[in-house]
Amino acid sequence: MKKLKLNITRVLVAILVLTSFVACDEVGDTDPGGTSAEAFAGDWFISATNPAGAPVSSHLLFSTYNTAANDNTLWLDDHNLAAAKKFKVKVTFNNDGTFSVTSATSAYGTKTVTITDGKIEKNAATTQGGHTVDKISFKAEFSGEPGIIYSYVGEKRTGFLEDEY
């Protein structure tokens, strides 16, 4: 009886060892790749000014991220927090970092937004902590205020405490 238990234990240990080696075998390419918008995705601290250059808001947290379509569009999102100018729209971007959209309906309501002169520039801004980061800038015209164009400029969020607002 002892020999039978010992033999069963040995067989089970052998099976366990063999399956563990097989389970660790890498099959095919496991790199999921990226999205078309990954170079331009991130969180941004953005300040807005009116046409006269007066501040409207400062250091608001915006995000840019890929859409499900993965087709050179990305979301430009102020997280529904930007005072009266709340918007989340899909913009079309180019590989050089420029982006725009005409009369896009905001996901946060029925107003439309036109984004022009959008640009993400690599290493073109400095944070308050002294870090070199990407810069974002664009102009926005809202359907509720036709002809009034707001300017938005900001820098990419680093996550460092000294750069947080």
Q: What is the mean pLDDT of the chain?
A: 88
Is residue 16 included in any domain, yes or no?
no
126/133 Cα distance (integer angstroms)? 6
Is residue 163 included in any domain, yes or no?
no
User: Which residue do the tokens 């991130």 mark?
Assistant: 42
- Per the structure, the complete domain to which residue 140 belongs is given by 42-157
Is residue 1 included in any domain, yes or no?
no
Is residue 36 included in any domain, yes or no?
no
Could you tell me the CATH number of the domain that includes residue 103? 2.40.128.220
The pLDDT tens digits of the residues spanning 12-50 come to: 887 877 676 665 556 666 777 788 888 999 999 999 999
User: Which residue do the tokens 């729209």 mark?
Assistant: 89
Query: What type of residue sits at position 75?
Result: W
104/67 Cα distance (integer angstroms)? 15
- In sequence order, which residues have a C-beta less than 8 Å from that of residue 110 and are 6 or more positions away? none
Is residue 19 included in any domain, yes or no?
no
The pLDDT tens digits of the residues spanning 85-114 come to: 789 999 999 999 999 999 999 998 888 999
Q: CB–CB of 40/62 below 8 Å?
A: no
Is residue 9 included in any domain, yes or no?
no
Count of domains in the chain?
A: 1
What pTM was estimated for this model as a whole? 0.80
